[in-house]
Amino acid sequence: MKQFLGFLVKEFYHIFRDFRTLLILFGMPVAQIMLFGFAITNEVKDVKIAILDESKDNITKEISSKLLSSGYFIAYDNLKSVKDIEPEFRKGMIKEVIIFEPNFSGNLLKLGKANVQLIADASEPNLANMIVGYTSSILMDYQKDLAKSGDIRPSINTDVKMRYNPNLKSVFMFVPGLMAVILLLVSALMTSISITKEKEIGTMEVLLVSPLKPFQIIIGKVIPYLLLAFVNAFVILGLAQFVFGVPIAGNTVLLLLESTLFVITSLSLGIFISTISNSQQTAMMVSLGGLMLPTIILSGYIFPIENMPIPLQIISNIVPARWFITIVKSIMLKGAGFEYIIKETLVLAGMTVFLIALSIKKFKTRLE
């Protein structure tokens, strides 16, 4: 045990004396969450829109004022005609134009059907999507109100789903994915580099010749990162909650336990990578290319899995972060209990066992 503690102390020396390691461990999580929280925001706020009202009746005026008082939009200028739209878009002065057809309220009240056209500047596709979504939901609201007072059916079909995040706060969506990315990076990348570093400088051989057992060496290498990743999970959740006001709807203990499971999965990935690579560079390339990219792209972090082509959807099943993100979203945003995430938990646990078994096998053949 004393041997083992000595080993741990040594590992912490390595970590705390390497500025770059420290930066990745502690600077990156904070920087990332700040970036995603503040800079790369998908929120709609004070977007300049123009309203081309060819009807100018009570209803269109009401809708216009409803749109403009929502806080999402500010009126740029009321356009005079359709011809004006193109130049304004080109100048980038407006992001969206709303065109009410002539005799809007007449059509709506008599025919039960009226047309409004939304034109968005799609050079920023995500933003355009958002703006259109917001606008449509405001229109829907208005129609519902109208339906209550009369017998008019909604005429515009908007299909915008905003459950669990009614304010469309983007940080809500980023936090689970960010947790996955950071925990994976800290655990898998850092351990694989730290293990291959010992191989590279030749100390691994010395350790193997010593009375330390191979599993003690590996566990000793892994424990510091397990602890640090845990600290990181706290930091991320803390920042999310206190800086960005993301609530943790479910059980925090359950969330931390699941995070620990994911960290262990990532650590076993890191160990596996270190058994197949002989240099720090290789370990880094494999970790970044083989882990980070799929995690960012195929986990549902940025792009919804449901919208991917079927082959990619199938591949996404082997990305551990995909399951972890589902777990975090369920607990954090939906307040789900353990019974709703049993499947995901089992998948992660299964992956961990598989990876550890594979690593042990690889490690043994290496020694021969």
Partner 1 sequence: MEDNKIIYAENLTKKFGNFTAVNSISFSVNKGEIFGFLGANGAGKTTAIRMLCGLSTPTSGKATVAGFDVFKQTENIKKNIGYMSQKFSLYEDLTVKENIVFYGGIYGLSNKEIKEKTDYLVDILKIGDARNKLIKSLPLGWKQKLAFSVSILHNPKIVFLDEPTGGVDPVTRRQFWNMIYDAASKGVTVFVTTHYMDEAEYCNRVSIMADGVIAAMDTPSKLKESYNVKTMHDVFVKIAR
For residue 3, state whether it binds partner 1 (rule: CB under 8 A).
yes
Q: Which residues pair with 100 in a beta bridge?
A: 53, 116
> CA-to-CA distance for 228 and 267, rounded, in angstroms?
12
Q: Which stretch binds partner 1 (CB under 8 A): 1-9, 280-288, 312-320, 331-339?
A: 1-9
How far, in Å, are 112, 216, 294 from residue 350 at the CA level?
56, 23, 19
Q: Which stretch binds partner 1 (CB under 8 A): 165-173, 206-214, 330-338, 354-362?
A: 206-214
Which residues are CB-contacts of 258 (< 8 A; sequence separation ≥ 6)? 324, 327, 328, 331, 341, 345
For residue 206, state whether it binds partner 1 (rule: CB under 8 A).
yes
User: CB of residue 275 vs partner 1: minimum separation in angstroms?
Assistant: 16
For every residue of 7-60, DSSP letters joined together read HHHHHHHHHHH-HHHHIIIIIHHHHHHHIIIIIS-----SEEEEEEESS--HHH
Which residues in the 348-367 window bind partner 1 by CB under 8 A? Answer: 367
Q: Which of 210, 252, 278, 281 binds partner 1 (CB under 8 A)?
A: 210
> CA-to-CA distance for 347 and 318, rounded, in angstroms?
9
User: CB of residue 213 vs partner 1: minimum separation in angstroms?
Assistant: 8
Q: Which residues pair with 51 in a beta bridge?
A: 98
Q: Which stretch binds partner 1 (CB under 8 A): 50-58, 89-97, 197-205, 302-310?
A: 197-205
Q: Which stretch binds partner 1 (CB under 8 A): 112-120, 162-170, 200-208, 246-254?
A: 200-208
User: CB of residue 194 vs partner 1: minimum separation in angstroms?
Assistant: 11
For residue 14, state whether it binds partner 1 (rule: CB under 8 A).
yes
> CA-to-CA distance for 238 and 246, rounded, in angstroms?
9
Please give the structure tokens belonging to residue 255. Answer: 């969330």
Residues in the chain: 368
For residue 83, state whether it binds partner 1 (rule: CB under 8 A).
no
Q: Which of 47, 61, 203, 349 binds partner 1 (CB under 8 A)?
A: 203
For residue 17, state whether it binds partner 1 (rule: CB under 8 A).
yes
Q: Which residues pair with 50 in a beta bridge?
A: 97
For residue 13, state whether it binds partner 1 (rule: CB under 8 A).
yes
User: CB of residue 224 vs partner 1: minimum separation in angstroms?
Assistant: 14
Q: Which of 22, 31, 162, 208 binds partner 1 (CB under 8 A)?
A: 208
> CA-to-CA distance for 187 and 195, rounded, in angstroms?
12
Please give the structure tokens belonging to residue 319. Answer: 């990305």
Q: Which stretch binds partner 1 (CB under 8 A): 14-22, 95-103, 132-140, 255-263?
A: 14-22
> CA-to-CA distance for 353 and 104, rounded, in angstroms?
63
For residue 22, state whether it binds partner 1 (rule: CB under 8 A).
no
> CA-to-CA distance for 94 and 76, rounded, in angstroms?
7
Q: Which stretch binds partner 1 (CB under 8 A): 42-50, 111-119, 207-215, 313-321?
A: 207-215
CB closer to partner 1, 3 vs 69: 3
For residue 19, state whether it binds partner 1 (rule: CB under 8 A).
no
CB closer to partner 1, 10 vs 48: 10
Residue 11: CA count within 13 A, CB half-sphere: 24
Size of the site for partner 1 (CB under 8 A): 24
Nearest to 358 by CA among 278, 274, 259, 263: 274
For residue 117, state whether it binds partner 1 (rule: CB under 8 A).
no
Tokens 């102390």 belong to residue: 9
Q: Which of 54, 77, 124, 205 binds partner 1 (CB under 8 A)?
A: 205
For residue 223, state whether it binds partner 1 (rule: CB under 8 A).
no
For residue 368, state whether it binds partner 1 (rule: CB under 8 A).
yes
Tokens 């008082």 belong to residue: 69
Query: What is the per-residue burial (b if ≥16 Cβ within 10 Å, else e) of 80-111?
Result: eeeeebeebbeeeebbbbbbbeeebbebbeee
CB closer to partner 1, 71 vs 211: 211
Per CB under 8 A, residues contacting partner 1 are: 2-3, 5-7, 9-10, 13-14, 17-18, 201-203, 205-212, 367-368
